[in-house]
Structure 1
């Protein structure tokens, strides 16, 4: 997928949360610290969810898809 901001190729992975938010190539059972090639986006947020997400490491954008999650708009 091409990045809508800079048109560079984006990488498919997962936006995963635990005590931090990390973009990962595969889902980890426990999200502690990012591994080589992964990107820590936030520290001390939600508890244990993951979303399919594309990352653009050129312009630092992340696109996520939550269409498979059962969320209600409030």
Structure 2
């Protein structure tokens, strides 16, 4: 994927955490508890083998120091197969 900021090639990887990955509208004193953060979005939740994996694919631009996340739940390899 090309970086929308500089046009250079980005590196595919993952944002992951065992306690959940969340986007919140407000900064939280305890980030693992997304309560009271205004609008909250759980990112990267997929059920597998009886436990929850807390990860989402993310594209990193080493030049711009920006990370792009697509949180629709499909991996890029699944999207390419359609």
Scaled by the length of structure 2, the TM-score of the pair is 0.46
5+ unaligned residues in a row in structure 1: which ranges? 22-43, 70-74
- 2:48 matched to 1:62? no
Max Rg structure: 2
CA distances 1:32-69 after superposition (whole Å, capped 9, x unpaired)? xxxxxxxxxxxx73387210110001001101111018
Matches within 5 A, 1:33-52: 45-46=31-32, 49-52=54-57
- Assess, with a 3 A threshold, how the Cα gap between structure 1 residues 18 and 6 changes in structure 2: closer, same or farther: same
Q: Secondary structure of the equivalent of 1:49? A: strand
- Assess, with a 3 A threshold, how the Cα gap between structure 1 residues 46 and 10 changes in structure 2: closer, same or farther: farther
Partner of 1:3: 3
5+ unaligned residues in a row in structure 2: which ranges? 22-29, 34-52, 75-82
Equivalent residues, number: 46
Q: Post-superposition, which runs of at least 4 consecutive aligned residues in structure 1 deviate over 4 A?
A: none
CA distance in 1, matches of 2:16, 2:72: 16
Scaled by the length of structure 1, the TM-score of the pair is 0.50
Counterpart contact for 1:17–1:50, Cα < 8 Å: yes
